[in-house]
């Protein structure tokens, strides 16, 4: 017999937005559960290896340490969160899903599935991951000390990674498809005045090649089509994030980049379905903004359910 369980709110995603939504749902008297497909909560916090100094009240923690504080709060309140949740059915309009063989229904959903590091999708990227291809200089810089490396991207994370690597690597090449960078001016200015950081602009990566480890990066000039091969012993890919919305496609309104469309109350195009965190197009990529959106989504649901 199929088991069915009903909730006021089901929250998909166990990053900071989802955790905040669960806490606020509890404080608002809503019966809620959080579902996370991974084996532990935290989302992108688990990939924040540097120390965070801009989250009020918890300064100087790594992402994992901050996650531990969040989870301890959930445990103290004995809130319902479930890891290892594999969805085999998801009906957003009906606010119903099937998780690990159990059908769950809710009066409202909060989609807080977050985002992941965007990949280039070029030959060699997957083949040489952890063998010359990395996605975090904060985590891996010591593995590349004394080696010439390349960073791909033009935003804050790319320039920050180049600066981190410049402290331990003899040569850092920053590759970007344009001469216009999105990075904050102070970081970009520092990189431009760092002797062992060089810039290659108007360049599109085509392939990463090598024997056992990555050795070469094939680039194409986006203006002329001319190609060049760049010798490198490390390729750090920092080209932004991609929202985890694949399972929502065709059911709900997404923008051109695949992010959830939400209004100022975090409501999506479907009644009773809300979004929070980096799965919505983030104005500010931060734990603080994700936590705020999770709280707002829960509060909006409480108001909506009272008026229903």
pLDDT at 1: 31
- On whether both 110 and 247 belong to a single domain, the answer is yes
Tell me phi and psi for residue 50, to 5 degrees: -85, 170
- On whether both 198 and 259 belong to a single domain, the answer is no
Q: Tokens 């809620």 label which residue?
A: 32
- On whether both 180 and 260 belong to a single domain, the answer is no
- Mean pLDDT of all residues in 140-157: 95
Angle between helices 185-192 and 156-166 (to 10 degrees): 40
Q: How far apart are CA 208 and CA 215, in angstroms?
A: 8
- On whether both 297 and 277 belong to a single domain, the answer is yes
**pLDDT (tens digit, 9 = 90+) per residue, 126-143?**
999 999 999 999 889 999
State the pLDDT confidence band at 226, using cuts at 50, 70 and 90.
very high
- On whether both 222 and 252 belong to a single domain, the answer is no
State the pLDDT confidence band at 48, using cuts at 50, 70 and 90.
confident
8 Å CB contact between 141 and 164: yes
Q: At CA 52, angle to CA 48 and CA 54, rounded to 5?
A: 135
- On whether both 158 and 256 belong to a single domain, the answer is no
State the pLDDT confidence band at 3, using cuts at 50, 70 and 90.
low
**pLDDT exceeds cutoff 80 at 162:** yes
**pLDDT exceeds cutoff 80 at 2:** no
pLDDT at 4: 56
This prediction has a pTM of 0.85
- On whether both 107 and 145 belong to a single domain, the answer is no
pLDDT at 93: 96
Q: Which two tokens stand for residue 77?
A: 């309140």
| Four-residue CA torsion sign, 113, 116, 122, 124 | negative
Q: At CA 6, angle to CA 5 and CA 10, rounded to 5?
A: 105
| Four-residue CA torsion sign, 217, 177, 244, 283 | positive
- On whether both 247 and 227 belong to a single domain, the answer is no
Please check whether residue 123 lies inside any domain of the structure: no
Q: What is the CATH number of the domain that holds 172?
A: 3.50.50.60
- Mean pLDDT of all residues in 262-269: 97
**pLDDT (tens digit, 9 = 90+) per residue, 105-117?**
999 999 999 999 8
Q: What percent of the chain has pLDDT over 70?
A: 99
114, 156, 116, 155: which is closest to 278 by C-alpha? 114
Find the domain containing 260 and state its range: 4-117+241-307
- On whether both 102 and 247 belong to a single domain, the answer is yes
- On whether both 23 and 54 belong to a single domain, the answer is yes
pLDDT at 300: 98
- On whether both 254 and 110 belong to a single domain, the answer is yes
pLDDT at 51: 86
Number of domain units in the chain: 2
pLDDT at 53: 87
pLDDT at 50: 80
**pLDDT (tens digit, 9 = 90+) per residue, 85-111?**
999 999 999 999 999 989 999 999 999
- Mean pLDDT of all residues in 201-222: 97
Neighbours of 233 (CB within 10 A): 17
Please write down the HEC assignment for all residues of the chain: CCCEEEEEEEEECCCHHHHHHHHHHHHCCCCEEEEECCCCCCHHHHHCCCCECCCCCCCCECHHHHHHHHHHHHHHHCCCEEECCCEEEEECCCCEEEECCEEEEEEEEEECCCEEECCCCCCCCCCCECCCEECCHHHHHHHHCCCCEEEECCCHHHHHHHHHHHCCCCCEEEECCCCCCCCCHHHHHHHHCCCCEEEECCEEEEEEEECCCEEEEEEEECCCCCEEEEECCCEEECCCEEECCHHHCCCCCECCCCCECCCCCCECCCCCEEECHHHECCCCCCHHHHHHHHHHHHHHHHHHHHHC
Q: How far apart are CA 251 and CA 93, in angstroms?
A: 7
State the pLDDT confidence band at 56, using cuts at 50, 70 and 90.
very high
Q: Mean pLDDT, the chain, as a whole number?
A: 94
Please check whether residue 124 lies inside any domain of the structure: no
| Four-residue CA torsion sign, 247, 252, 254, 260 | negative
């Amino acid at each position: 017999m199929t088991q069915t369980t009903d909730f006021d709110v089901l929250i998909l995603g166990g990053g900071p937005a989802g955790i905040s939504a669960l806490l606020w749902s509890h404080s608002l008297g809503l019966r809620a559960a959080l579902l996370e497909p991974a084996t532990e909560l935290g989302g992108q916090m688990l990939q924040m290896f540097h120390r965070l100094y801009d989250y009020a009240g918890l300064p100087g923690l790594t992402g994992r340490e901050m996650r531990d504080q969040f989870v301890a709060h959930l445990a103290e309140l004995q809130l319902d969160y479930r890891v290892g949740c594999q969805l085999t059915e998801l009906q957003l309009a009906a606010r119903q899903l099937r998780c690990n063989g159990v059908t769950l229904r809710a009066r409202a959903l909060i989609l807080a599935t977050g985002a992941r590091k965007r990949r280039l999708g070029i030959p060699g990227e997957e083949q040489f991951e952890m063998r010359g291809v990395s996605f975090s200089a904060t985590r891996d810089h010591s593995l590349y000390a004394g080696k010439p490396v390349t960073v791909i991207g033009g935003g804050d994370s790319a320039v920050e990674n180049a600066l981190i690597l410049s402290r331990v690597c003899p040569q850092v090449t920053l590759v970007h498809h344009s001469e216009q960078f999105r990075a904050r001016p102070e970081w970009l200015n520092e990189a431009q005045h760092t002797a062992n950081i060089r810039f290659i602009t108007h360049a599109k990566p085509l392939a990463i090649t090598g024997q056992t480890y990555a050795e070469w990066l094939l680039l194409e000039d986006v203006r002329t089509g001319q190609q060049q091969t760049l010798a490198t012993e490390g390729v750090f890919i920092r080209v932004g994030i991609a929202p985890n919305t694949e399972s929502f496609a065709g059911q709900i309104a997404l923008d051109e980049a695949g992010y959830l469309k939400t209004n100022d109350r975090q409501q999506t195009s479907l009644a009773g379905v809300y979004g929070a965190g980096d799965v919505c197009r983030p104005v500010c990529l931060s734990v603080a903004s994700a936590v705020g959106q999770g709280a707002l989504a829960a509060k909006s649901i409480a108001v909506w359910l009272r008026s229903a």
